[in-house]
Chain A
Amino acid sequence: MKALSTWQIYSLMLLFQMGTNVVFGFAGTAKQDAWIVAFLSTLGAFLLQWLYYKLYATRPGENWTSLLKLSFGRYLGTFLHTVYIVVFLYLAARNLRDLGEVTKVQLLFNTPPIVDMMIFQLLVAYICYAGIQRMGRLAELNMPIIFLFIVLQIILISFSGIMDFSRLMPVAENWNLIATTVFPFSISVPYSETFVFSMFGALTVAPRAYKKAAMLSVASAGLIFTIWDILSVSTLGSTIFSRSFFPLMTTFQMINIADFITNIDPVIVTNYMITLMIKIAVYALATCAGIARLCKLDSYKSIIMPVSLLVIVLAYFMTDNLSSHLFVAINWTGWLILLPLFIVLPAIVLVIMTVKNRRTGEGRKLHEPTTN
């Protein structure tokens, strides 16, 4: 049963990819050339999405965990299945912690972040109970809001008269830096993260529609990131941009229209909450679905609460402070988790499945596009 429409999966993927970048900006380490990184990463992301699409198209009826079992046999497959569950759980917790940190720094200075995180995880649990179809509706319901906010942000910052495009100079100063930022970090976060949608493959849309939605969402996200980076660097200058924890947040805090519209952080944080709501919910649902399949449960709903509790605990004890949290994100998660598990392994599985399909001739039959 296909529970989602193309537009819904597009909305889900776009909001998912925007995720934390709404406040963290994109590729801050590349200084004034961040926008080039954003642009190049988008091109790379197209390749990546093509890989995911091919993988999905080899066996449209299967999801990622069952593909693992098909490719690597029962024991190794089950082991990898477990690894993915842990990784999804970890990533859900990471994003929740991001939210806790941003809320503490930008919005609720005196409330302990654990309270914010618990309330948000409760919301996520509710979304998981609602299921993937309602999650899709939630995403498309929030699309107009996000669209409105982004347009508002761009217009307001442009009219504040503080942008100076000369701050983008020198363009492409250090190709080495650009290359190392594009790969692996910028491609892995957020683009490779969309691999989590392969956990619901059979539920979402037909492969063709998936390709369309994924490619369009990558294009939209890439466009938004590039514009944001240009705005941000030309407002803040490359030094503050690369040094700030929340470059985009800092950028939009500079908005000043006639001394009246001066402080629109709540708008940005609301924006951020929408994208993170989708992101954490997708990860949490993927975790629940993974556990349910591993333990052969009838319904994933019974494990939502335990998983949510784990996410909160993990998010709370993950790091001591924001700096180390971001350090792990930039230096470790990309190399250790996203690159091997979300890029390399899918590529290996694609090769294995293609060979298997060739041998059995099964692929052609399954490849028939189910129209959507």
Chain B
Amino acid sequence: MNQQQTDTSKRLNLVNLNRFREEISHAFGRPPDLIFRKVKELLIVYIAGLVDQARVEKEIIVALESADAGGSYTDMDSPHVQKTDDFDLALQLLLSGMVLIAEPNQSYVIAADAASMPHRSITTSETENVIHGPREGFTELLVTNVALLRRILSSPKLRVHDSCKGTYSGTKIALLYLEGLAPAALISNMQKRLESVQLDGVIDSNYISEQIRDRPRSLFPTLQSTERPDVVADALLKGRVVVLVNNSPFALVAPFLFWNAFQSIEDHFLLYSSANFLRIIRAIFIIMALFLPSLYVAITTFHIEMLPMELMLSIAASRERTPFPAIVEALIMESIFEALREAVVRMPQRLSQTASVLGALVIGQAIVQAGIVSIPMIIVVSITGIASLMIPRYEMTFAVRILRMLLLFMAATLGFYGIAVGIFFTQVYLTGLRSFGVPYLSPIAPLVWKHFQHFFIRKPTAQSEVTTDHKRKKDWS
């Protein structure tokens, strides 16, 4: 851990063990879970709950009682045992679940690992579901998450760099990449950004994400966060770098490009042809998620002549009863839908029945019968709602939803012209974004042919991007 602190900070004083005990107790503010035990002349310190009590008894206390002195531990050459003469480091070690063994008149204490951090077991990921493919999701424990990745990528080339962030939380974060695949510039860029992170506490990986990503205030995510080890492993194989944060099941993957948001890892787990079929369906519906309400508003407000006669008449007939202009209808329905979406997330499980009844009956049926919103608008908003759930990356759904609202206003004021101008503005904005030095719209703008080939269509795995040819991954843009 922080070995460089040794020079500046306080040394241990073990001449009097009682005084040592007092110092440690004082540093923690005499908490009830700080346990001191005496075995022969040795003092054993640990924090209850962070260590495995049974292991402490069996491996440490019994061993020490049978042995002559602490010497048996001192001689052990194991990563689980370390010596330190630094007081602050000793406290830090205690907090990470080590057991301190202090011997009188020594210049150091021995820290033995018996950590058993409270944690959740590995479960399926909640946010990114697949039908085929691995089901595990990350947990809150960094060690477990790294182990999950090591299991998928059993290669010594998988590099893990540790560091600590957060003045008070002291959260461990790990930078992972595959040596030889990830470009050196990307790694050093990430390391530099991670070093500059200044925080009191890191509760979730998003705390780190906001400090290291490009344009943190942008609507468009420039850093991917994912709960799935297979997604991370895939990203590592494509030469990306990954940041894991202790206490957060969400890994950060960089660089993250615009088009990545519309590709699901499941594309690689399905039959080649069905995966491409799904990609086409997804593309169509995501475009609809963005444009459908504004197109509807533009057509009914400005370009009604675009529709075939029968369709025009039936839409006009159903709009007859509603008093509001199309934009107001659209805003009412859109905001109700967004509210429903948010409510369902926050609501206790038992109330979900209520939400679906309210949603289907009151908002669907009654609002039409009351003549507030026309039926075509309900259909449009429902299709849009389903379509926006198809976006594989959760972060991007916000961009699409907010952009949809903006386009709605443009459509209501200037029709198709407004939609086009709105999209052009977005395009110009996107051309200026970068994610860790890679242009956001790559590989289309700028065109990078070798990545472009893999971008619309998932090629069969035999021709896929993942190869052992390291030279191909050198450049990203």
Contact = CB atoms under 8 A, between A and B. Distances in A.
B431 A141 contact: yes
A108 B441 contact: no
Interface string A258-270: 0110111110011
A316 interface: no
Contact of A123 (B309, B421, B439): B421
Contact of B444 (A108, A111, A136, A144): A144
What class of interface size applies to chain A in its complex with B?
A: 35 or more
B303 A123 contact: no
Interface string A111-127: 10001100110010011
B445 interface: yes
B305 A263 contact: yes
A5 interface: yes
A123 B410 CA distance: 14
A273 B308 CA distance: 25
Interface stretch (B113-121, B263-271, B412-420): B412-420
Contact of B417 (A7, A108, A134): A108
Given A123-B424, A144-B444, A259 B417 contact: no
A137 B416 contact: no
B420 A273 contact: yes
Contacts of A8: 446-447
A103 interface: yes
A274 to B, nearest CB: 8
A259 B446 CA distance: 40
A275 to B, nearest CB: 12
B308 A262 contact: yes
Given A260-B308, A269-B416, A7 B431 contact: no
Contacts of B302: 107-108
A30 interface: no
A107 B415 contact: yes
A62 interface: no
A127 B426 CA distance: 11
A36 interface: no
Nearest to B306: A263
B31 interface: no
A266 B445 contact: no
Interface in B229-253: none
Contacts of B29: none
Interface string A269-287: 1100110010000000000
A126 B416 contact: no
Contacts of A144: 444
A269 B445 contact: no
Interface in A236-264: 259-260, 262-264
B425 to A, nearest CB: 6
B453 to A, nearest CB: 14
Interface string B437-470: 0010100111100000000000000000000000
Contacts of A108: 302, 414-415, 417
Given A107-B303, A108-B302, A137-B439, A5 B446 contact: yes
B414 A137 contact: no
Contact of A266 (B303, B309, B427, B441): B303
A266 B416 contact: yes
B421 A119 contact: yes
B445 A137 contact: yes
B297 to A, nearest CB: 13
A130 B447 contact: no
A270 B432 CA distance: 22
Contacts, number: 82
A137 B441 contact: yes
A308 B266 CA distance: 48
B340 to A, nearest CB: 32
A140 B305 contact: no
Nearest to B439: A137
Nearest to A129: B428
Contacts of A142: 427
B427 A103 contact: no
A138 B308 CA distance: 34
A138 B431 contact: yes
A119 B432 contact: no
Contacts of A127: 428
A59 to B, nearest CB: 27
Contacts of A137: 431, 439, 441, 445-446
Contact of B428 (A126, A140, A270): A126
Given A5-B447, A123-B421, A273-B420, A141 B414 contact: no
A260 B310 CA distance: 9
B424 A277 contact: yes
Which of B308, B424, B439 is most buried by chain A, counting CB atoms within 10 A of its CB? Answer: B424
Contacts of B432: 130, 134
A134 B431 contact: yes
A270 B424 CA distance: 10
B165 to A, nearest CB: 34
Given A134-B428, A260-B308, A140 B416 contact: no
B444 to A, nearest CB: 6
B417 A116 contact: yes
A107 B417 contact: yes
Contacts of B305: 263
A5 to B, nearest CB: 6
A272 to B, nearest CB: 10
Interface string B266-305: 0000000000000000000000000000000000001101
B308 A7 contact: no
Interface string A1-35: 00001011000000000000000000000000000
B431 A130 contact: yes
A177 to B, nearest CB: 36
Contacts of A111: 414
Which of B305, B418, B446 is most buried by chain A, counting CB atoms within 10 A of its CB? Answer: B446
A141 B421 contact: no
A123 B425 contact: yes
Contacts of A134: 428, 431-432
Contacts of A103: 417
B75 to A, nearest CB: 63
Contact of A140 (B415, B418, B425, B447): B447
Nearest to B298: A266
Nearest to B303: A266
A317 B226 CA distance: 56
Interface string B329-364: 000000000000000000000000000000000000
Contact of A130 (B414, B417, B428, B445): B428
Contacts of A263: 305-306
Interface of A: 5, 7-8, 103, 107-108, 111, 115-116, 119-120, 123, 126-127, 130, 134, 136-138, 140-142, 144, 259-260, 262-266, 269-270, 273-274, 277
Given A7-B447, A262-B306, 9 more contacts: A108-B417, A126-B428, A127-B428, A130-B431, A140-B447, A141-B430, A266-B416, A270-B420, A273-B417
19 contacts: A108-B414, A108-B417, A123-B425, A123-B428, A126-B428, A130-B428, A134-B428, A134-B431, A137-B441, A137-B446, A140-B446, A141-B427, A141-B431, A141-B445, A259-B308, A262-B306, A263-B305, A266-B306, A273-B417
Smallest CB-CB A-B distances: 3 pairs? A137-B445, A141-B445, A137-B431
